[in-house]
Chains A and B, each alone.
Chain A
Amino acid sequence: MLALSPRPVDEPTVLMLQASPVAVACGFPSPAQDYYDGPIDLTEMLVDDQEATFIVRASGHSMTEAGICDGDELLVDRSKRPRDGDVVVAVLDGQLTIKRLHISAGRVTLKSESTEHPDIVVPELSELVIWGVATFSIHHLRRP
């Protein structure tokens, strides 16, 4: 590459010899440099399967007691097998709907987490489509 692109000698050449991600002071080396591996990556901490995880936004108030408020973002991981007690996104009447999945004695209920909203008993298990399992809710504490 160098041979293919000769440059005039008076052009300053900058050599990047960066060994550490931390700026190193000239005097003493940073005592942190052997310990620092980069900042916390939220995606790495919150998402197990990146290709199978989707972010959706909640609309409505039926899940407030589960910590999901109107406008919150939810991480939904489709790779997780839904279990009893999971908060899931289910397809109800062609709409994506978030409820708590309750399975007992062959009966499946999609429970709301708010006193004002009724539970939904699923009559036929085969007709229930679980879209994904919600793993985290991003609740906004300070609105802009």
Chain B
Amino acid sequence: MLAHVDCNSAYVSWERVFRPDLEGVPTVVLSNNDGMVVASSKEAKALGLDLGRPWFELRPHAQRLGVTALSSNYELYGDMSRRFHAILSRFTPELEVYSIDEAFLRVSPRIARDPDAMTALGREIKDTLRRLIGVPVCVGIAETRTQAKLANRAAKRLAAFDGVCVWPATRPEWRQQLMSRLPVSEVWGIASRLERRLVAMGISSIADLAAADPVRIRKAFNVVVMRTALELRGVPSIVAEEDRTGRKEQLIVSRSFSEKVTTRDGMRQALSIYAQQAATRLVRHRQVAKLLTAFAGTSHYSEQRSFPSVLVKLPAPTADPVELTRAAHRLLPLIEDGGRYARAGLMLTDLRPAEVSQPLDLFRFAHEESGIAELIDKVQRKEGRDLLGLGYGGMRPGPSWQMKREMLTPRATTHWDELATVRA
């Protein structure tokens, strides 16, 4: 038995911990560079401020609607997320961190036998998080991950659940009704692009998918969709993805610029910074990469569109910032001076653990053992990101396209000079 816990409008809820004046106020949080809505409070959703709406469209109406918009305070969210997961781990020896604001918990067999005990556990999780970090959550408990996600959705939608839905303890007719009302695209793991094909097969609601013949589903789609169908019936078929937040198959460092980059020199600086960030992340995860893709792009709306990219096969798997920077700069010949680039990035693929892929000394980069990446990481962690950098990535002042966060709240839990103020 698994419990799925996630924060209600996580970013907004985490902001409200230090901004109680925003309780009940329609509030949205904007993406990088204040681009679009990435989190929307219940009140804001009621006004139609859904996720993905561009901020420039909403800005003229925000004041009239009484909407408060905030820039993404990643420092705060990172810390609140850490607290959220740490508190959840008190309830289970097996916590599966699924994302910044949600997790699966294994429910002990003793509790799983008793529906009342499961409900009590769900309530305790919800009340504890509210009390300890001031964050509202919903809890779904069920036999499988897919069902637990579904139960959580029910807990969010129907007030009668009061935030906690234990699927096996829910009346069968309620369950059936819920599943027949929700479109199949609302199931965890069913991409909306599959919806049309499913509907064509007569599968339009979640209930339809749960009732479908798994073999037929596998033939028409693939084993992944079949597993989802089985999970809806309570047959555990999806295994935990190991350490989703840590090691990954690929690593992407990419941002859109707040101001267009129009020169090759500007691009060189951007790529240098990204290469360093990529190196830092590889080192932290003890990984090395074999392939690097560097890319840039103009806005999709711009008149002269251009999306240059280059794939570089690194001479040997590496996490070395000097090598990665050198590889990233291979994109530069494709950059046109005068082009108006809106974003750029690096993608590192063919990642492998650093320990097992040490090449023979012959193939190592001369400076690799000197620990440049570790040194930069250490200094930047201690003294801030701007103090030390490698080559073009370390130039001051920093580039003008750095992230724009005009409506940023104080980083109250990570920065000593930005602590929340209490009136005395």
Return chain A residues, CB-CB under 8 Å to B421: 56-59, 96
Query: Does B162 have its Cβ within 8 Å of any Cβ on chain A?
Result: no
Return chain A residues, CB-CB under 8 Å to B47: none
Q: Which of B402-424 contact A (CB under 8 A)?
A: 412-413, 419-424
Query: Does B241 have its Cβ within 8 Å of any Cβ on chain A?
Result: no
Inter-chain contact B424/A96, CB cutoff 8 Å: no
Query: Does B21 have its Cβ within 8 Å of any Cβ on chain A?
Result: yes
Q: Which of B161-199 contact A (CB under 8 A)?
A: none
Return chain B residues, CB-CB under 8 Å to A98: 422-424
Return chain B residues, CB-CB under 8 Å to A97: 422-424
Q: Which of A1-60 contact B (CB under 8 A)?
A: 1, 4-8, 49-52, 54-60
- For chain A, give the interface size range: 35 or more
Query: Does B116 have its Cβ within 8 Å of any Cβ on chain A?
Result: no
Return chain A residues, CB-CB under 8 Å to B132: 49, 51-52, 78-79
B263 to chain A, nearest CB (A): 43
A10 to chain B, nearest CB (A): 12
Query: Does A129 have its Cβ within 8 Å of any Cβ on chain B?
Result: yes
Inter-chain contact A1/B20, CB cutoff 8 Å: no
- For chain B, give the interface size range: 20 to 34
If A51-B133, A94-B21 touch, does A60 touch B361 (CB 8 Å cutoff)?
A: no
Q: Which of A56-72 contact B (CB under 8 A)?
A: 56-63, 68, 70
Give bound CA distance, A50 to B89, whole Å. 14
B422 to chain A, nearest CB (A): 4
Interface 9-mer from B56-64, B327-335, B352-360:
B352-360
Give bound CA distance, A51 to B21, whole Å. 23
The residues of B with any CB-CB pair to A shorter than 8 Å are 18, 20-21, 23, 83, 86-87, 131-134, 355-356, 358, 360-361, 412-413, 419-424
Closest A-B pairs by Cβ, 6 of them: A94-B21, A60-B424, A52-B132, A5-B358, A58-B424, A96-B422
